[in-house]
Homo-oligomer: A and B are copies of this chain.
Amino acid sequence: MRNLGKLRIDGERLAARLDALAGIGAIEGGGCCRLALTDADKAGRDQVVEWMRELGLFVRIDAIGNIFGVRAGREDGAPVMTGSHIDTVRTGGRYDGNYGVLAGLEVVRVLNEAEVLTRRPLAVAVFTNEEGARFAPDMMGSLVHAGGLSLAEALAVRGIDGALVGDELARIGYVGDMPVGTIRPHAFVELHIEQGPVLDSEGVTLGAVDSLQGISWQELTIEGQSNHAGTTPLRLRRDAGFVAGAVTLFLRELAQRMGGNQLATVGRIELVPNIINVIAARATMTVDLRNTDAAALAEAERRLAAFTEDLARSEKVEIRSRRLARFDPVVFDTGIARRIEQVAGRLGHSIRRMTSGAGHDAQMMARICLAAMIFTPSVGGLSHNVGEFTRAEDLTAGADVLLHTLVELAEE
């Protein structure tokens, strides 16, 4: 085999594809809205599948809509896989997920042009509904692929707009004929923007991600009693809106008290009837708890439950909790993380070991194969925001490290 050390990504081609994909579901400010299984998601998928076919990849789609573009190797067997997702949150940026998929395609293009055939096959994956912004849980496609959620359960999930995953998948034409979990890779490497401030604030170009925070998502429904805001004494109120506010403040204070890596976010609050002079009869709110420490994450859940129990009693409301997602912290493969560091060093890019604050498809793939991630900086730490931005040279650096890491793993 020839010396492949000189191979490099074409950053301009990568940027052009990021631009083109960002044009689908584009929103003001340069961002994207391609919620999973919407028409915009379908249009994005169609574009990526077209690009895969142009690159000669064998496109396979499974029953949950995951897309795999497979490139043959010198030998048959378990492929080395990269990939990510192309669905976005409602006010998403253009890099989150898309970057990992399109860098994977650029790796294939470079290898095609250099006429390099790796020992193991390569595969570029596009996983369904990573964001979970429309359907919970997030990372749905990779979770089903890894056997953590049954296909039947996933298809029966109802979204925030009332639609079913199964119906929407059929509607956009992405119910594939391949059974879920068919392609079991040798290794999985996901390239992703950091979506946090660490690399940018430290001036480091890349992250070798060797672990990932645990995530606990729940939806709280608070049932109080609607009543007139001007005539109901405080002591007689059963105010679901007040309870939602008190829980929101409690969660911030809880995370501050616990310290360490504990995070807590209330991203969604909805009141019924949601009228200025009517005490809210019902509040629905979400709670997002994260920690790299499994025991601490469970402790945060316990403290929240104790708080809501007391509050339900004192305000005479009913508080129900529904679990939307629950993933323990993940430890990635140290061997791959070390290899990513070595490749970056050879290519002259600064790199540090780090943990991921966000959930990623790689954490599901880690259940069934060796896995790790490569991070590139997010300017200002911004993500899930139309202002999400990663510099062109960092995008290229990350894709170069992906290229050589995949090639090395494929020769193993």
Q: Is A265 within 8 A of B248, CB to CB?
A: no
Q: Is A232 within 8 A of B281, CB to CB?
A: no
Residue A40, interface by CB 8 Å: no
Q: How far is the CA of A187 from the CA of B271 in the complex (A)?
A: 40
Chain A 341-395 residues near chain B, CB threshold 8 A: 356-359, 381-385
Q: Is B274 within 8 A of A267, CB to CB?
A: yes
Residue A268, interface by CB 8 Å: yes
With both beta carbons as reference points, the residue of chain B lying nearest to A225 in the complex is identified as B385
Binds B, one of A72-80, A150-158, A190-198: A190-198
Q: How far is the CA of A248 from the CA of B383 in the complex (A)?
A: 28
**Which residues of B sit under 8 angstroms from A70, Cβ to Cβ?**
none
Q: How far is the CA of A236 from the CA of B200 in the complex (A)?
A: 14
Q: Is B265 within 8 A of A277, CB to CB?
A: yes
Q: Is A255 within 8 A of B275, CB to CB?
A: no
Chain A 250-289 residues near chain B, CB threshold 8 A: 252, 255-256, 263, 265-281, 286, 288
Interface SS of A by simple majority: loop
Least CB distance from A312 to B in Å reads 16
Q: How far is the CA of A275 from the CA of B255 in the complex (A)?
A: 20
**Which residues of B sit under 8 angstroms from A232, Cβ to Cβ?**
196-197, 263, 357, 381
Whether A228 contacts B276 in the complex (CB less than 8 A), given A242-B248, A245-B248, A281-B385, comes out as no
Residue in B196, B231, B242 whose beta carbon sits within 8 Å of that of A196 in the complex:
B231
Q: Is B290 within 8 A of A267, CB to CB?
A: no
Q: Is B277 within 8 A of A384, CB to CB?
A: yes
Q: Is B230 within 8 A of A241, CB to CB?
A: no
Whether A278 contacts B91 in the complex (CB less than 8 A), given A239-B265, A249-B249, A263-B229, comes out as yes
Q: Is B226 within 8 A of A273, CB to CB?
A: no
Interface residue count for A (Cβ, 8 Å)? 70
Residue A44, interface by CB 8 Å: no
Residue in B245, B246, B267, B324 whose beta carbon sits within 8 Å of that of A229 in the complex:
B267
Q: Is B279 within 8 A of A268, CB to CB?
A: no
Binds B, one of A48-56, A131-139, A330-338: A131-139
**Which residues of B sit under 8 angstroms from A356, Cβ to Cβ?**
230-231
Residue A16, interface by CB 8 Å: no
Q: How far is the CA of A276 from the CA of B228 in the complex (A)?
A: 30
Q: How far is the CA of A11 from the CA of B288 in the complex (A)?
A: 55
Q: Is B381 within 8 A of A231, CB to CB?
A: yes
Residue A217, interface by CB 8 Å: yes
Q: How far is the CA of A310 from the CA of B242 in the complex (A)?
A: 21
Q: Is B277 within 8 A of A227, CB to CB?
A: no
Q: How far is the CA of A357 from the CA of B231 in the complex (A)?
A: 4
Least CB distance from A356 to B in Å reads 8
Residue A215, interface by CB 8 Å: yes
Chain A 80-104 residues near chain B, CB threshold 8 A: 89-91
**Which residues of B sit under 8 angstroms from A274, Cβ to Cβ?**
267-270
Residue in B196, B226, B248 whose beta carbon sits within 8 Å of that of A385 in the complex:
B226
Residue in B89, B225, B271 whose beta carbon sits within 8 Å of that of A275 in the complex:
B89
**Which residues of B sit under 8 angstroms from A276, Cβ to Cβ?**
132-133, 136, 217, 219, 267-268, 286, 288, 324
Q: Is A266 within 8 A of B242, CB to CB?
A: yes
Apart from A197-B233, A244-B248, A245-B248, 11 more pairs, CB < 8 Å: A132-B277, A133-B275, A133-B277, A227-B381, A231-B381, A231-B383, A232-B357, A242-B252, A275-B384, A276-B324, A277-B384
Pairs across A and B, CB under 8 Å, 7 listed: A89-B273, A195-B231, A196-B232, A197-B232, A230-B356, A267-B279, A277-B288
Chain A residues with CB under 8 Å of chain B are 89-91, 131-133, 136, 138, 194-197, 213, 215, 217, 219, 225-234, 236, 239, 241-242, 244-249, 252, 255-256, 263, 265-281, 286, 288, 290, 324, 356-359, 381-385
Q: Ordered nearest first, which 4 A-B pairs have the shortest CB separation?
A: A245-B248, A196-B231, A231-B357, A229-B265
